[in-house]
Amino acid sequence: RGEKGEVTIVRRAAIRWAMIEEPKNVEWYYYEAREGVARAGVQFLFEDGEFLEGTLYALGRAGEQRVLDIVNRREEEFLHLETDAGLYLVNVNHISSISIMEGEDGGT
């Protein structure tokens, strides 16, 4: 709901990213799933030059835990990205390029 109580309807495909408020309460299952998982520092660049930089955890099936595998998994339209500012859900369909900054345990 908006400030005046109005309802806003947004096409899911139109959402570039969403920042999650109180992520440890709202996305608690994500924090449990990422424990002990390989991770990579990445920068997602969008067509207009905006970018988000943070940590991407390799939440995926065994053998499919590289950044490339995670981004190209078709059942996942939104990825969790941890940044200094908080937790984002990023729509992979809006990402124009990805730079891998650093990786651990096969994060590249």
Q: Is 62 helix (H, G, I), strand (E, B) or coil?
A: coil
From first to last of its 108 residues, the chain has per-residue pLDDT tens of: 557 778 778 888 899 999 999 999 989 999 998 998 889 999 999 999 999 999 999 887 777 667 877 777 767 789 999 999 999 999 999 999 999 887 655 444
Q: What is the pLDDT of residues 10-25, one digit of tens each?
A: 888 899 999 999 999 9
SS3 content of the chain, % helix, strand, coil (to 5): 20, 35, 45
Residue 63 amino acid letter: G
Backbone angles phi, psi at 68, to 5 degrees: -55, -45
Q: Residue 61 is encoded by which pair of tokens?
A: 């099936």
Query: In whole angstroms, what is the distance from residue 79 CA to residue 34 CA?
Result: 13
**pTM over 0.95, yes/no:** no
